[in-house]
Structure formats: C-alpha cells, structure tokens
Amino acid sequence: MSSVSTDSRAAVAAQLAEARAATFALLEPLSDDELARQWSPLQSPLVWDLAHIGHFEDAWIGQRVGGLSPVLEEGEELYDAFRHARDGRGGLPLLDPAAARDYLCRVRNRSLAVLGDESLGAEGDPLLEDGFVFGLVLQHERQHVETMLQTIALAGLLHPGGGPRPVPGSGDVLVQAGPVRLGADDAWAYDNERPLHERELAAFRIDATPVTNRDWVSFVGDGGYRRRELWSDEGWAWREADGAEAPLGWGDGTVRRFGRDEPLDPDEPVQHVCFHEAEAFARWSGARLPTEEEWEKAAKAGLLRGIGEVWEWTASPFVGYPGFRAFPYPEYSEVFFGDEYRVLRGGSWATHPSVARLSFRNWDFPIRRQIFAGLRLARDADPIASLLGPGDRRAALEADVREGLASSPKRLPPKWHYDEEGSRLFGAITQLPEYYLTRREREILEAHAADIAAASGADTLVELGAGTSEKTRLLLDALRAAGQLRRIVVLDVDEVTLRESVARLAAEYPAAEVKGVVGDLERHLAELPREGRRLVCFLGSSIGNFDVEHRPRFLRALRAAMAPGESFLLGVDLVKDPGRLVAAYDDAAGVTARFSLNLLSVLNDELGADFDLSTFEHVPRWDAGRELMDIRLRSREPQHVRIPALDLEVDFAEGEELHTEISAKFRRERIEAELREAGFEPRAWWTDEAGDFGLSLSAAV
C-alpha cells in the first residue's frame, strides 16, 4: 500500500470510523442483559458479535499486517467463528459489553497506526494491494451489523430497526439470450466473486419487482403451506418439522417487527422466508427461482426494480467460479462450497451499499428464515423446446413423399395428417359415437387414475403425442391430489396444437412446471427432459400406428430413454367384432374421411401439390390375418399429380390405393410379450367394463 496516497489512507480511516459509529449506534438502545443473552440457537449473543468484530480486525490488521501480538490473548479461542457453533457461544466466558467496546477501541487504535505506517506495503504483500485488507475488515464489520439486526429482530427486542420499502408494480421482463460478464474485478471484491468471466445464457423472463406481501397472502389463502405437491421432499420435511403456515413474524394481517406489531403492507416485498418457502411459492406461481447468473445479468442490464430491499433467493448452490482461487483464506468461501447452501443476491434494506454490489454473493442454509430474505420469480422465455430445426420438418416431409409415392403400393406415414386442421379433425373424431376408443380409455382412467398415481410414485408426467392432453388430466388430477405432481412434459409434432395445450395445462396446474417439446416420436425420445420420477404415457392406442417391424424398435428406444424403475402407461385398443372396428374408422358423418384426406391437403399446402381431394375416397378395411385396421385413399379415376417443390410428377390409376395408416388391435398376452422383449416389466392391467380397451402399466427394468 506504499503507493497509495495520504488522501486514500484518510478515506479508508474515515470509512472505518463510519462503520464503527454505526455498530455502536445499533447497539446503544439495548441493555447489557439484552446484549449478553443468547436469544436463539440460530444467532450468537450480540456481545459475541461485537467482540468478534474486534477480533477479526486485530487478526488481519494488527497481527497479520502489523506483525503485532494479539490485543486479547484469549481472543482466538473465544471469538474465532470456527471454534464454537453459534448455539454454544452463550456459554463462553465472553467479555461484557463495556469490556467488548473497550476491546474494539484498543484494536482500532492499533489498526489506524498500521494504516499510517509509511513503510506499509513495501514488500508487495497482496493483502495490501489497493488496501484489500482494510476493505476486508470494513466489509466484515458492516456485514455483522446486519447479522446483529437479524438477532434483534428474531429476539423481538424494541428497536428502531427498519424494513423494506414498498415496491408497487408487477410484470416481468424478457432477457435475451447471449453472453454475460459475471463476477467482479473490484479491488475489494471477495474471492467468491472472482474471477470476472463470461457465460452464455439462454433467454429467460424475470419479474421486474420482488414478490410482495400481497402475492404471499394469496399463496397462504390458497393453502400453499399445506399443498404437498408444491414442496420438494426436503422442503416438505422442513415445513412439517417447523409447522410453518406463513412467513416468520406474520400474524392476522400484521407483521411482528422489532418488538412491535405493524399492519402488513401489501406492497412491501415479503421477507423472512426460507429457500424452501420461496421454491414452493414459485411452483404455485407456475414459475421458478432465477439462477444467480440470470439474476446478475438482469440486474447489470438495469432491468430489475427493488434491488436492495430484501435478499433474493436463487436456485443456485454456492460453488466457486471457474478459475476460483481462495484469498485471503479458504475459510471465507471455499469451505462452504457445495449443494448444502443456496445463493442469495441483491442485499436487503439492512445491507450497507458497499456490500450490496451486484456481484456480491450471500449464501445460507435453505431452512434459514431469520435473514431479511425474499424472492423474485423467473420463467423460461419459451416453455416450448423444438427439437425440429427450421428445415427438419420440411426435409422429413419431402423424404417421406419421395420415398412413399415411389413405392408399390404407394404409402405415406400417418404423422403427416397432423397440421392444425388435422389436429382439429382428430379432436372431433374422438367425440363421435362410433369412435369408442376415447370413451373406453377415459372410463378406465376415471376408475384407476389414483391407482396409477400410487403405483408409479411419479412426480413428473410425460405424454407422448400429446395432442390436446384431455384424458391426461385425469392422471394429472390424481397425481396432484396425491401431492406428487411437480412437472408436466408433453411431446407432439404439431407446434400449434402443442402451444395451445401447454398454455392450458400451465393455467390449470399452476404449481407444476409445464414444458412442451416439438419432436418426432421416432427420433427424439432420448432428448426428453429427464427431471423427476417420470410416468411416461402413450395413450389412445397410438402405438397401433406402428407396424410389426417398427413397434419393437419404438419400444426399445423408449426403454433406452427411461431410467430403471420409471413407469410406462400404454393404452391399447383390443381385438373385437370387425363391424364395430370398421365403423369406428368410417363414421356416418364423414369426419374420419376428411381427416384421412387432410393428408393430401398437407401436401398441397406445403409442397404445392395439386391433389384434387374430390377424386379420392377414404377406404378403411379390417385385416383379420394381421389383426389391424388398414386405411387407404383410393383414386376414383386415372389422374396425374404434380408436386412442384419436389420437381415430381406421380400417376394414379383408377382404383389405385395410397396406404395412409394402420391401426393394430391387441390381445393382452401379445402386448405384454412385446413390452417384456423391449425391457419393461408389466405390473398392472385394466380394461373398461365392456372389455374394449386396455391400459398396461409397466416398469422399466
């Protein structure tokens, strides 16, 4: 520090004096008994904090930099934070308040003498670079002022105290994808804020303001503290042990603050909530906690209001940044790294501005409520993830059309029925009197959804080929009623229908995280989100659309994408009277025929083909040998079709058929054998009362 000017040394001395005056002023209203008493096992006696401030300063400035002997011989044994846990410090032979104040004054006099030594820093000690050691001591004292305020508030002592200011307003802001520079290179930044580094973040949304008391009142009123499905396993265990029903200090429309009951201000940020409460509230809101990287990016971009009113819980565990180097000692940060702690950002009303920098990382146990902590919410920018690139769908359609129309007989995969109109028509089909499949499957789910939820133990429902997810709601309701539902994942090839479904599910199940995946059943099973204990559902006998060669391949791919013990619920249409089967695929109103012909409309719309739909007819037939419905489009006359996008021309003879779909029907022993062959173990089987439809619940083994 020898290169630092006299003015800079004077500025450091002034800041040290300001911090000490604030420390003494904070404790001045309290009696010696109040200072000496241990009010909670969570907090040290106030007089311990007071003397600890002096011990820390003496250890770093007087002893480490000045090379002097300790001012208090027993200081290391009594006031080193790692010697005794907080709950045992009240039993130590501590200095009384007057002696503690005198100790601080003696330490300060020596520190100022060290600061004024003109030879200081001549040997290039990194502790003295830019006066770091003085910044370390200064910030330490200011942080302990906040810690002592926590103790005073927790004890309910009469004190001027303070609280967060109202932050009216609502709404979130979009933070675009891109890089962010995280951390700090400030002279007095802590080691856990270093090094300054760059990270690439996906786009996200984050609330402009912290969650308010008004918001939390709604959460409490909706049974948020008693709804198991909102809480993690660790959070629920804490809530049951603690008996929490509201934030710490809340009464009936009041909040206990520094020994006084005050009216609850609805526009103040909620405070005195732990991480588990914050996480449960986020689930209830259909949102999540931001990561600390997201918080810092939004804060540095100037997008957040209300920073500095309450510490804000993030989803991030406390870990070192890439390239972390402990300085000046491992016990400040490094020994706390790991999943045991969660990071808080922003500072509270009690945090000194010099500490509440945007890169500052606070951390604590997820169960801590005495800190002045609240939260703000974040959301993915788009709950829909598309695994199909901009050209993937078109390329797949072109390949299928080229191959299928060149084959004999001509064929096209059934997935190309499902543009927006095709999805609408299929929804109408499920309501037809002839189409019994949906009603029979629903009958089973109404009777056994609770059994399925219990047997699976799932907290995540994944629906393949989701469509509108109507029947799945019975399972979702059962999982929610059992306190299990955490998240919902729906996969479909049609993005328009999927977005509508995801929006409805998010509104109906606000406590669950809802994600949509635009993808192909045959290509993207391995890329589905893997969080939680999953129940994968493939309903509606959609598996019947796979032929005898593709079905085992699909089941093996699905098994490879699942963890052992995860559950697979499969709906299958059972073999029955052929007359009923044909009627289900050839309804009197002609809706199924329009659905079948819609495949040609897709080719016209997307590839510029000139199919004349009136020259084709829908032809369903029962194939008894293969036990499946075989569905085709038959050309009523000779015709020549052009497909400009493919530079392709195709001839159809009168009576020539285009194969568009199969719908296999099953017997229990057949489908269970196929499941076992693929690596599943059937665990339960249900049918409707008429025996038309079956549901199989299997476990991945």
Query: How distant, in Å, are the alpha carbons of 39, 51, 257 from that of 262?
Result: 22, 33, 7
Q: CA neighbours within 13 Å on the CB side: how many for 348?
A: 29
What's the CATH number for 172-380?
A: 3.90.1580.10
Distance of CA 651 to the CA centre of its chain: 54
Q: Do domains 6-155 and 172-380 have the same CATH topology?
A: no
629 CB contacts (<8 Å, ≥6 apart)? 581, 582, 585, 620, 621, 622, 623, 661, 662, 663, 664, 665
- Per-residue burial over 426-435, b if 16 or more Cβ lie within 10 Å, else e, is beebbebebb
Q: What is the pLDDT of residue 466?
A: 63
Question: Residue 701's beta-bridge partner residues?
Answer: none
Query: How distant, in Å, are the alpha carbons of 51, 72, 74 from that of 104?
Result: 7, 10, 14
Beta strands 628-635; 616-623: pairing state = antiparallel
Question: Residue 18's beta-bridge partner residues?
Answer: none
Is the per-residue pLDDT at 327 higher than 50? Answer: yes
Order of strands, sheet of 410-411, starting from the edge strand that comes earlier in the sequence: 410-411, 657-664, 628-635, 616-623
User: 37 by DSSP, 3-state: which?
Assistant: coil
Distance of CA 313 to the CA centre of its chain: 13
**Cα angle vertex 198, ends 194, 202, to 5°?**
130
Distance CA 440, CA 343 (A): 50
Distance CA 525, CA 491 (A): 9
Is the per-residue pLDDT at 29 higher than 50? Answer: yes
Q: What is the 3-state secondary structure (H, E, C) of 283-322?
A: HHCCCECCCHHHHHHHHHCCCCCCCCCCEEEEEEEECCCC
Tell me the per-residue pLDDT of 265-302, one tens digit each, with 9 for 90 and over. Answer: 999 999 999 999 999 999 988 789 999 999 999 999 99
Instruction: Identify the residue whose tokens are 């695929």.
Output: 585
Q: What is the pLDDT of residue 2?
A: 43
Is the per-residue pLDDT at 122 higher than 70? Answer: no
Token digits of residue 326: 């402990």
Split at pLDDT 50, 70, 90, the class of 531 is confident
Distance CA 696, CA 19 (A): 69
Tell me the per-residue pLDDT of 152-207, one tens digit each, with 9 for 90 and over. Answer: 999 999 999 999 999 987 788 889 889 999 999 899 999 999 999 999 998 899 99
Is the per-residue pLDDT at 485 higher than 60? Answer: yes
Query: How distant, in Å, are the alpha carbons of 43, 56, 91, 330, 603 from that of 85?
Result: 10, 17, 11, 18, 73
**Residue 618 belongs to what H/E stretch?**
strand 616-623
Q: What is the pLDDT of residue 81?
A: 94
Q: What is the pLDDT of residue 3?
A: 47
Measured from the Cβ of residue 526, the count of other Cβ atoms closer than 10 Å reads: 11
Mean pLDDT across the stretch 88-111?
97
Q: Which of 127-136, 160-169, 339-348 has the highest mean pLDDT?
A: 339-348
Is the per-residue pLDDT at 131 higher than 70? Answer: yes
**Cβ atoms 415, 491 nearer than 8 A:** no
Q: What is the pLDDT of residue 542?
A: 93
**Cβ atoms 281, 383 nearer than 8 A:** no
Q: What is the 3-state secondary structure (H, E, C) of 341-386?
A: EEEEECCCCCCCCCCCCCCCCEEECCCCCCCCEECCCEEECCCEEE
Query: How distant, in Å, are the alpha carbons of 56, 201, 293 from that of 204?
Result: 41, 8, 11
Could you give the angle at which helices 591-607 and 420-429 cross, rounded to 10 degrees? 170
Phi, psi values for residue 632, rounded to 5° = -140, 165
Kindly report the average pLDDT of the chain as a whole number.
94
**Phi-psi region at 507: left, alpha or beta (left = phi > 0; alpha = psi -120 to 50):** alpha
Tell me the per-residue pLDDT of 390-447, one tens digit each, with 9 for 90 and over. Answer: 688 889 899 999 999 999 999 999 989 988 899 899 989 999 999 999 999 999 999 9
- Identify the weakest region by mean pLDDT among 108-117, 383-392, 501-510: 383-392
Mean pLDDT across the stretch 230-244?
96
- Per-residue burial over 646-657, b if 16 or more Cβ lie within 10 Å, else e, is bebebebeeebb
Q: What is the pLDDT of residue 5?
A: 60
Is the bond leading into 529 cis (omega within 30 degrees of zero)? no
Tell me the per-residue pLDDT of 561-613, one tens digit each, with 9 for 90 and over. Answer: 999 999 999 999 999 999 999 999 999 999 999 999 999 999 999 999 999 99
Distance of CA 370 to the CA centre of its chain: 25
Distance CA 33, CA 223 (A): 41
Q: Does the predicted model carry a pTM greater than 0.85?
A: no
Give domain 386-579+666-700's CATH number out of 3.40.50.150, 3.30.70.100, 3.40.50.920, 3.40.50.1370.
3.40.50.150
Distance CA 166, CA 172 (A): 18
Distance CA 652, CA 419 (A): 24
- Domain boundaries, given as residue ranges, for the chain: 6-155, 172-380, 386-579+666-700
> Domain 6-155 - what CATH class?
mainly alpha
Distance CA 480, CA 483 (A): 5
Token digits of residue 150: 């926590």
What percent of the chain has a predicted confidence (pLDDT) above 90? 82
Measured from the Cβ of residue 124, the count of other Cβ atoms closer than 10 Å reads: 8
**Residue 138 belongs to what H/E stretch?**
helix 132-155
